[in-house]
Amino acid sequence: DVKVTQSSRYLVKRTGEKVFLECVQDMDHENMFWYRQDPGLGLRLIYFSYDVKMKEKGDIPEGYSVSREKKERFSLILESASTNQTSMYLCASSWGGRAEQYFGPGTRLTVT
């Protein structure tokens, strides 16, 4: 059974803080993804990675960065949190060459 875990279910941060969201998968998946989900907008891809130390911008990368130092771990970094980054953040992973993705439980981030 695929397992994707995220470091926090709920997080409250202040404007301007640096925020780290961690994601770990235990299926040796090559691909990892970070999305945010907002009402009425659906899931939007922030960044993704096909391999260790590799990263690609998604559709909305502004204000975010990522790090993938180990195959099983993909971190999302908000360099200076802003209120418009209040959202549900979802991490996903998949095997290389396979489209179906498996999601972690999500982190609901509130920036005040």
Partner 1 sequence: RKEVEQDPGPFNVPEGATVAFNCTYSNSASQSFFWYRQDCRKEPKLLMSVYSSGNEDGRFTAQLNRASQYISLLIRDSKLSDSATYLCVVNGNTDKLIFGTGTRLQVFP
Among 40, 62, 69, 84, binds partner 1 (CB under 8 A): 40
Q: Which stretch binds partner 1 (CB under 8 A): 20-28, 37-45, 67-75, 77-85?
A: 37-45
- Which residue type occupies 16? G
- The b-or-e profile of 89-100 (16+ CB within 10 A means b, else e) is bbbbbbeeeeee
Q: Which stretch binds partner 1 (CB under 8 A): 17-25, 65-73, 76-84, 88-96?
A: 88-96
> Is 26 within 8 Å of 55 (Cβ atoms)?
no
Q: What is the dihedral of CA 3, 4, 9, 12, to 10 degrees?
A: 170
Indicate whether 31 belongs to the interface with partner 1 (CB under 8 A): yes
Question: Under the rule (CB under 8 A), what is the footprint of partner 1?
Answer: 31, 40-43, 45, 48, 50, 58, 90, 94, 96-106, 108
